Amino acid sequence: MSIKQISVFLENKPGKLNRMTQVLSDGGIGIRALSVAETKDFGIARLIVDDALEATNVLKDADFVASLTPVLSYVISDEVGGLNNLLKVFTEANVNLEYMYSSLGGKATGQAYMIFRVSDTKAAEAALAAKGLRCLTQEEISEI
């Protein structure tokens, strides 16, 4: 099952990212994964959080432009070649990746968590399930 990613548009100015994280902190929202892409004038923060709907409401109440996007999250072994092995399965299933980023994990757990945006989430998930992979749920991500 896909999870919900929040995309937040931010002006590329000092303090804007801090303001966004402050709003989430004040709202009791925990960030599980974060990626920021920028251009000269603006950036897009992509977040996986404990409660995506509440976070979106809190952000919109604070005048942020935020939207929800379905993404997939998979556990990979935190070892040399772990990501490559998962990407091979994506390739064999003919799944095109639009972007990806990592989540919390590391050597202490022996696992890493990857977030993937694909053009057809349901088809990608079905193809990967057929290869024996299971997408993490929103509940599982919230417990990481």
CATH superfamily entry for domain 3-70:
VC0802-like (3.30.2130.10)
Q: What's the pTM value of the predicted model, to 2 decimals?
A: 0.86
For residue 82, what pLDDT is reported?
85
| CB 10, CB 45: distance < 8 Å | yes
Q: What does the domain layout of the chain look like in residue ranges?
A: 3-70, 71-138
- Residue 109, pLDDT score: 66
DSSP character string of the chain = --EEEEEEEEESSTTHHHHHHHHHHHTTPPEEEEEEEE-SSEEEEEEEES-HHHHHHHHHHTT-EEEEEEEEEEEEESSTTHHHHHHHHHHHTTPPEEEEEE-S-BTTTTEEEEEEEES-HHHHHHHHHHTT--PPPHHHHHT-
pLDDT of amino acid 107: 52
pLDDT at 119: 85
Q: Half-sphere exposure of residue 83, counting CA atoms within 13 Å on the CB side?
A: 10
What CATH number should be reported for the domain whose range is 71-138? 3.30.70.260
Q: What is the rounded CA–CA span in Å between residue 37 and residue 43?
A: 5
Which pLDDT belongs to residue 104?
61
Residues in the chain, pLDDT under 70? 104-110
Closest CA to 65 of 2, 15, 31, 20: 20
C-alpha to C-alpha distance for 30 and 125, rounded to whole angstroms: 26
